[in-house]
Structure 1
Amino acid sequence: MKYAQRILLLAVDTFIVLGSVLVSYLLRFEGHIPEPFWNSMPYAIGLILLVTCGVFYVSHLYRCVWKYASIGELLLIIRATTLALVLTFALYFTARALGVGIVIPLSIFLLSWMTTTVGIAGSRLIWRIARGRYVKIQPHHKKALIVGAGDAGTLVAKELQRFPDTTLYPVAFIDDDPSKLYMEVAGLPVVGTRRDIPAVVKRLGIDTIILALPSAAKSETAKVINICKKTAANIKILPRVSDVIHGKVSISTIRDVNVEDLLGRDPVEVDLKGIADYVTGKVVLVTGAGGSIGSELCRQISAFDPETLLLLGHGENSIYAIENELKRKYPNLKYETIIADIQDRQRIVEVFDRYRPAVVFHAAAHKHVPLMERNPAEAIKNNVIGTKNVAQCANLFGVERFVLISTDKAVNPTSVMGTTKRIAEMIIQSLNRRSSTKFVAVRFGNVLGSRGSVIPLFKQQIKEGGPVTVTHPEMVRYFMTIPEAVQLVIQAGAIAEGGETFVLDMGEPVKIDKLARDLIRLSGLEPERDIKIEYTGMRPGEKLYEELLTAEEGTTATAHNRIFIGRATPFSVPEFMAKLEKLEQAASNNYMPVAPEELKAMLKEIVPTYQLPAADIAEAKSKQKAAETIVKRLKLEVALGAEK
């Protein structure tokens, strides 16, 4: 088929060149061609035709797909006809020099160049129009408003106009550039600026708004999204500026607006080259490697060519999943998958003794706040005893750096989970005072898309038709994406001197109620009308506002503008270790389990800032007295039995 098209184009070009030479003669002599020049016309036609068609062929003019022709193809036509003109001149003057007596006016060559260029370009334009698949709006189409009448927006408009199978059809542009206002771009009117979006959506009956602002800052994109949320239209976005640069803009690249787009800040950009040298050529251990943070740590560390990457986790399915992913992406990576429970001290000793890691990222933890409130013993065993086992092995086997993944819930904690993570921080701070290992903690808030994050829950509830459950209308949280949080963790490990608690700048806090309503709107629905919002009340251990630092810690700047150092809060290590041993015995006592309230009271002794509810304290004291009475009675019965 392609050869038939080339022959057809060649035939068309032949007739155009013939016609252009004839028109040139008629123009040159104003319609009355003298006989001598009439006799020389066949020679002029033969010379110009052969040279022009030959140049067209050599210039690959017949390999272009003309239904997608643009400025580049037009320039190719001009270059080819100009080269043909130069060669024609050269051959004509050479023939004259050799004594050939044929006379062709020089103006004929120039006129034929002009008419040939116009004729060839015109034929290709007609070909594109005839072969192009631009379609009119159809009944199945949804009207689309494109925000951004630049290169990206124009490409999106053309793509949507070209494919009849898509459900979207562009009807207008929005752009803040005054020079484009009320003009036409790609055949579509620019009907207003961002402030006009709600009115335009209502007036034109817009179903979908497409944000074609790939090079705009996140803050600007968030402002436009906030305006779009005032409408009932569905919102979609063109992802990256690189898609425009590499010509990858198409219908498939238009995606729904994500929660990350609502944060209103540019993502953290960390150039890990140079700063991640401390993992290159080293044995690196990641605990909790199957979790959201642990698995992302494995992905990013793999790119820096560690000697061996140790993936340690308790759940076999999650470890199997990250193993398969790394196997595909990094076929030359040397790694070991280790199924182990960090609460099993002997097993952790075996791992350290066998593999001798130089760098440890400790991400394994129980982190679901309400679950840990109901199961404090398990939180203590995993987050406290597990951390103690891994940290002590790091010290025993001479690990160079140990990075603990902590949480903002460790600051003035109101939950068992937060308190156990604060104790984990205290464990590594106490070890750092007497160890050659650089022990540090990295503290950040909620991570978008992580296990336990509220976002997947909201999306599932919206998918099921609601209601969306929010604990409290005033609840506020910090958010960060998984990749940027992990980048900052790796960066913190590079600048660690030992003993620091690094705090990541999470940007501005986000109100959970507003986040839920935004997600409903981004799904093309209206809060309270299509999807109900229910306030369920704060769960045990939750607080309205999370903090990243205590008043005593303060902050110190680092070389990275998104990482700060919290000054360590002083505490007595011997007293801490004594209380920690008591807590460990109580949590691990399988013969006489300690009541949850009593465990919480013991946590309060270690972390005085733990805001334990007064009712729990009173209940814990009451149960403790009852337990002491039972023990005294048992001792008395034993003593009396011995006397008998």
Structure 2
Amino acid sequence: MKIRLRPTALTRALFFMITDTLIFFSAFYLAFLLRFNFHIPPNYLETFYALVWYLIAIKITVFFLFKIYFITWRYFVLSDMQKILYALLISEVIFILIERLYYTGPFPRSAIPIDFLLSAFLIGALRFSKRMLKNFKGERLNPTIIIGANQKAMQTISGAMQGQIDYFPVAIVDDDASMVGAYFHNKKVHPCKKLPELIQKYEISSAIITKEYTPDSLDRLFERLKKYGVKEIKLSRLLSNKEENLRNVAIEDLLARRPKDLDSKAIDRLIEGKVVMITGAGGSIGSEIARQCARSGAKRLILLDHSEYNLYQIVEEITFCDTVALMQSVVDRKLLEKTFRKYRPDIVIHAAAYKHVPLCEENIEGAVLNNIIGTKNCIDLAIKYAVDKFVLISTDKAVRPTNVMGATKRICELYAQNVESRNTLITAVRFGNVLGSSGSVIPKFKRIIA
């Protein structure tokens, strides 16, 4: 079994303190060699050994104060190199002051700028080495900004440090003044007004939003991030097992109203252990209903659709439930009756319909045949074979219809309301413009914008 040890902040700091000590020693010695043309006089060699440990101690201390030892190796960026240059410069100034005040022996001051340049080069080369190796291997660097200083931010950063997600947080922003200046896993919390400055400084390409926002506020934040050049924006939610789950910002997140959660217990009681037939099971609505029924413990799913490809797609996806795939049209009453007779469904959810308004306007006979006659066939057979519940999927366009599609669905509703249903409970539900469904205006808008 292969065991992979993950670095911690402590082990990372210790590693760099040890390697930096070797680099500082080597750079100072090489500076003396270059200063004296590779022949260091004995009295200056004594100076070297007398002062090198003071210089190393000063540099290590200043590096620690600049939090350079808490920078993750694999995501070292140019702004981090700038911090190193400042730290080295301050270290050299402090060293010169101490040397002038307290050391009386000979000292080649021209070795100081040489030491500065060598230390900067060697330290930078070490820090950049892993990033260059990652780029050589084709791995993608993804500097990320966290929006929201909270528990989810802590979990996100922790997951990134452990390699669980392909994002590396470099900064946190929050509009809560009490959180500004705090540190989360050595990442400082900045005010939101510094967002454009941080994005430019760290070359940020991704953002993870861990804070809850209203749809309007989220919309404004989304547009703001896109304006600053952030290409990938994720929403974070904390799961029950404390693992972090990231997803893209969806259209429903930007709506002026919040989606309503389903009553899963009531649905489970309705579906569990039942044989459920879904017509139009390969469509956008029908396929999602099929997924929900499978999760709710349906005994068997009878998935009916006239599209071979759509039916294949949903059957391949639902592998944890007994499914029967039937390539049928609801217009073919004889074939449909054989299905009712053979499988005896307890519940029928009728989602099969032509729903594209312009196409229905151009194909009136086909719309009438499929929507009205197909629905009548399903309702009649459900009553004949004593189906417990029949659900008709309708549309908001059935309200005072002004087009062929809406008119056909209104007729279906009227038939469902007035037919002699015997022991079958017939209900209808009107759907609006379903986000992300085929034919929905949202994907069309996305394609136009893209």
TM-score (norm 2): 0.64
Superposed counterparts of 1:444-593, under 5 Å = 444-463=431-450
Give the drift of 1:374. 0.7
Letter in 2 for 1:369: V
Give the drift of 1:379. 0.7
Q: Which residue pairs with 1:175 in the alignment?
A: 174
Task: Kindly indicate whether the alpha-carbon contact (under 8 Å) linking 1:406 and 1:442 is maintained by their aligned counterparts in 2.
Answer: yes
Q: Which residue pairs with 2:428 in the alignment?
A: 441
Offset from partner CA, 1:304-334 (integer Å, 9 cap, x none): 33333211111122212222222x2x1xx33
- Distance in 1 between the 2:199 and 2:329 partners? 58
- SS in structure 2 at match of 1:306: coil
Q: Does 1:297 align with 2:289?
A: yes
- Distance in 2 between the 1:170 and 1:307 partners? 46
- Distance in 2 between the 1:279 and 1:171 partners? 47
Task: Kindly indicate whether the alpha-carbon contact (under 8 Å) linking 1:152 and 1:212 is maintained by their aligned counterparts in 2.
Answer: no
- Distance in 2 between the 1:136 and 1:206 partners? 12
- Distance in 2 between the 1:288 and 1:386 partners? 11
Letter in 2 for 1:268: K
- Distance in 2 between the 1:299 and 1:66 partners? 38
Letter in 2 for 1:229: E
Superposed counterparts of 1:62-461, under 5 Å = 65=5, 67-68=7-8, 133=73, 135-138=75-78, 144-157=144-157, 170-193=169-192, 196=193, 200=197, 207-208=204-205, 210-213=207-210, 216=212, 219-220=213-214, 223-230=217-224, 231-234=227-230, 235-242=232-239, 245-247=241-243, 249=244, 254-326=246-318, 328=319, 330=320, 333-431=321-419, 433=420, 435-461=422-448
Give the drift of 1:422. 0.8
Task: Kindly indicate whether the alpha-carbon contact (under 8 Å) linking 1:173 and 1:190 is maintained by their aligned counterparts in 2.
Answer: yes
Q: Which residue pairs with 1:25 in the alignment?
A: none
- Distance in 2 between the 1:160 and 1:436 partners? 57
Give the drift of 1:67. 2.3
- Distance in 1 between the 2:316 and 2:299 partners? 19
Give the drift of 1:198. 6.3
Percentage identity across aligned positions?
A: 36
- Distance in 2 between the 1:316 and 1:258 partners? 29
Task: Kindly indicate whether the alpha-carbon contact (under 8 Å) linking 2:383 and 2:421 is maintained by their aligned counterparts in 1.
Answer: no
- SS in structure 2 at match of 1:312: strand
Q: 1:189–1:134: structure 2 CA closer, same or farther, 3 Å change rule?
A: same
Offset from partner CA, 1:231-280 (integer Å, 9 cap, x none): 3332512332118x534x4xxx5543222221254432223224432333
Task: Kindly indicate whether the alpha-carbon contact (under 8 Å) linking 2:147 and 2:210 is maintained by their aligned counterparts in 1.
Answer: yes
Letter in 1 for 2:385: F
Letter in 2 for 1:441: A
Gaps of 5+ in 2: 11-63, 80-134, 136-140
Q: Which residue pairs with 1:615 in the alignment?
A: none
Q: 1:314–1:237: structure 2 CA closer, same or farther, 3 Å change rule?
A: same
- Distance in 2 between the 1:160 and 1:276 partners? 37
Larger Rg computed on CA atoms: 1
- Distance in 2 between the 1:67 and 1:206 partners? 24
Give the drift of 1:356. 2.0
Task: Kindly indicate whether the alpha-carbon contact (under 8 Å) linking 1:239 and 1:254 is maintained by their aligned counterparts in 2.
Answer: yes
Offset from partner CA, 1:130-186 (integer Å, 9 cap, x none): 9963542159967643211223324544666788x97x7645321133221234444
- Distance in 2 between the 1:314 and 1:373 partners? 21
Letter in 2 for 1:395: I
TM-score (norm 1): 0.46
Task: Kindly indicate whether the alpha-carbon contact (under 8 Å) linking 2:361 and 2:405 is maintained by their aligned counterparts in 1.
Answer: yes
Letter in 2 for 1:451: S
- Distance in 2 between the 1:184 and 1:148 partners? 12
- SS in structure 2 at match of 1:398: coil
Give the drift of 1:380. 0.4
- Distance in 1 between the 2:334 and 2:410 partners? 24
- SS in structure 2 at match of 1:426: helix
Gaps of 5+ in 1: 3-62, 71-124, 464-644
Letter in 1 for 2:239: S
Give the drift of 1:423. 0.8
Offset from partner CA, 1:102-146 (integer Å, 9 cap, x none): xxxxxxxxxxxxxxxxxxxxxxx9xxx699635421599676432
- Distance in 1 between the 2:388 and 2:181 partners? 64
- SS in structure 1 at match of 2:352: coil
Q: Aligned pairs, how many?
A: 331
Give the drift of 1:419. 1.1
- SS in structure 1 at match of 2:434: strand
